Amino acid sequence: MSDAYLVIEQSKHMEGTLEVSGAKNATLPLMAATILTEEPCIIRNVPNLLDIKNMIELLSDMGKKITMDKNTLCIEGPILNKETREDIVRKMRASVLVMGPLIAKYKSGKVSMPGGCSIGARPIDQHLKAAKKIGVDIEIEQGFINLKAQNLNPIDFRFDMITVTGTENVFCMLSTLEDESILRNIALEPEVINLADALRQMGVLIEIDELERTAKIKGKKELKGFDIKVIPDRIEAGTFMVLALATGSKINIVNLNVNHIESVLQKLEIAGAKVDILSPDSVLVYPKEDKINPLYIETLEYPGFPTDMQAQFMSLLSIADGESTIVENIFENRFQHAQELARMGACIRIHSKTAYVKGVKSLKGAEVFSTDLRASAGLVIAGLMAEGKSIIRNIYHLDRGYDHIEQKLEKIGAKVKRINS
Ligand code: EPU
């Protein structure tokens, strides 16, 4: 793990354009889905991130031939080794996404059990419950999940809770079954829909009823390759919007999908941002007034307010004119950035899954530590807001999910430097 860190100085009233990259959380399931076929699969608009490199390493180790040209990945060929390398799974929980495709294509596999991470225990019981119902024998041994099936059966399955990668994994598991399956209480995140679009290109019939949160899936024994563009990263787009308001800047954010961030836009506008929608893929964000209004935020599954935007809003609200309330409903331990913000002078009280953020006049620069990917984005925003200089350590978290963020920010005048020690 690199010891690189960021040095940030207060940067206000910036102006310019920030371009949003493709979504990491859409790219990873698309990459895993290439296991379903030996035909070439093309994935465009791929972000340049550590997690993507890890997934390339994982799939290459399993036998896939992979080439990357700028932002386009081509993945083809058979899987020769159906076991995932534990060291890679440790670096990236999303490796569990290979489980569904391995079951569908090869009826067997050995997948390292992902552990918890700093934001929560993150069990995968729903992925396994659906797999068992489909007919997969599951044995957990020495930290590995052994998967073996004679036959795969269609299912009518209801998820006990809404899970993003769980839904993605089960979509893939069912994609080679010709009889219809029904999934209930599915996740509807745009990343799930991006995967469904790729599976349709492969020959799978998927009918999604968003109101009912159900999917009907009818697969095909032999699946074709696909050629798909990764959707814009709605969390990166949201991070840039919060940054605009938090630093009193006027920022044109391009290459996003406005429809994917409605819940974030609503909160930003109440907090005091003016958001001019210039086109479906471009917005101009700037402060409407001189103060930040406090908010009530509750994280929810899509289309609700995303947990992945909670840390960035906490930084913003730490200088609001009054007290804000943030309820984290998705992960049980996702407030670790609060204590780092407190080092910068923020006034935050946590009670169970609720954070009460009492606005202070300004944040002060400090040395702080990233605790997870989105927390680091929140700290970058805080560093740009804070008086003086801040140092943000453990930015390997940031590199997992933000494509060259400091280079993008420097272009709009932000004083941010990466130090590779
Ligand atoms: N859960 C279970 N059992 C399961 C699956 C989930 O109890 O079998 C619980 C989780 O512990 C959590 C909740 O259900 O409390 C939701 O978890 P979910 O499965 O939806 O999360 P995920 O699929 O592991 C994805 C993103 C996360 C994002 C969440 C929520 C990817 C690769 N990761 O995780 O992204 O926070 O959905 O939207 O898609 C990030 O990018 O920083 C990140 C953490």
User: Would you state the pLDDT for residue 275?
Assistant: 97
Mean pLDDT of 288-312: 97
Q: Which of 165, 170, 400 to mutate to test the pocket of ligand 1 (most atoms within 8 A of CB)?
A: 165
Q: Quote the CA–CA distance of 11 and 255 in Å, as a whole number.
A: 24
Q: Quote the CA–CA distance of 412 and 244 in Å, as a whole number.
A: 11
Atom of ligand 1 nearest to the CA of 126: 8
Residue 393 C-beta-side C-alpha neighbours within 13 Å:
7
Atom of ligand 1 nearest to the CA of 120: 11
* Cα dihedral 374, 87, 114, 131 in deg (nearest 10): 130
Cα 177 to ligand 1 centroid, rounded to whole Å: 26
Asked if pLDDT for residue 116 goes beyond 70, the answer is: no
Asked if pLDDT for residue 115 goes beyond 70, the answer is: no
For residue 186, how many other CB atoms are within 10 A of its CB? 28
Tens of pLDDT, residue by residue over 159-191, are 999 999 999 999 999 999 999 999 999 999 999
Tens of pLDDT, residue by residue over 349-377, are 999 999 999 999 999 999 999 999 999 99
Whether 256 and 277 have beta carbons less than 8 Å apart is answered as no
Whether 213 and 243 have beta carbons less than 8 Å apart is answered as no
Mean pLDDT of 278-295: 96
Handedness of CA 352, 354, 360, 364 (dihedral sign): positive
Nearest CA to ligand 1 atom 16: 163
In the annotation, is 347 catalytic?
no
Pocket of ligand 1 (CB under 6 A): 25, 28, 94, 120, 122-127, 161, 163-166, 191, 307-308, 330-331, 373-374, 401
Tens of pLDDT, residue by residue over 195-242, are 999 999 999 999 999 999 999 999 999 999 999 999 999 999 999 999
Q: Which of 49, 92, 158, 161 to mutate to test the pocket of ligand 1 (most atoms within 8 A of CB)?
A: 161
Higher-pLDDT residue of 298 and 84 is 298
Nearest CA to ligand 1 atom 19: 163
Nearest CA to ligand 1 atom 18: 163
Mean pLDDT of 286-312: 97
Please give the backbone phi and psi of residue 75, each rounded to the nearest 5 degrees, phi first.
-125, 130
Which structure tokens are listed for 88? 């890679």
Higher-pLDDT residue of 2 and 337 is 337
Q: Which residues pair with 83 in a beta bridge?
A: 110
Q: How confident is the model at residue 149 (pLDDT cuts 50, 70, 90)?
A: very high
Please give the backbone phi and psi of residue 363, each rounded to the nearest 5 degrees, phi first.
-90, 155
Cα 262 to ligand 1 centroid, rounded to whole Å: 20
Whether 105 and 35 have beta carbons less than 8 Å apart is answered as yes
Which structure tokens are listed for 413? 């005048």
Cα 56 to ligand 1 centroid, rounded to whole Å: 21
Mean pLDDT of 325-352: 96
The conformation of residue 319, written as its DSSP 8-state character, comes to T
Residue closest to 259 by CA, chosen among 325, 189, 322: 189
Q: Is 127 exposed, middle or buried (0-12, 13-18, 19+ CB in 10 A)?
A: buried
Q: What is the pTM of this model?
A: 0.97
Rounded percentage of the chain residues whose pLDDT exceeds 70: 99
User: Would you state the pLDDT for residue 1?
Assistant: 61
**347-351/282-287 β-pairing:** unpaired
Nearest CA to ligand 1 atom 5: 124
Asked if pLDDT for residue 59 goes beyond 80, the answer is: yes
Residue 121: C-alpha distances to residues 124, 330, 343 (Å): 10, 11, 26
The chain-wide mean pLDDT, for the chain, equals 96
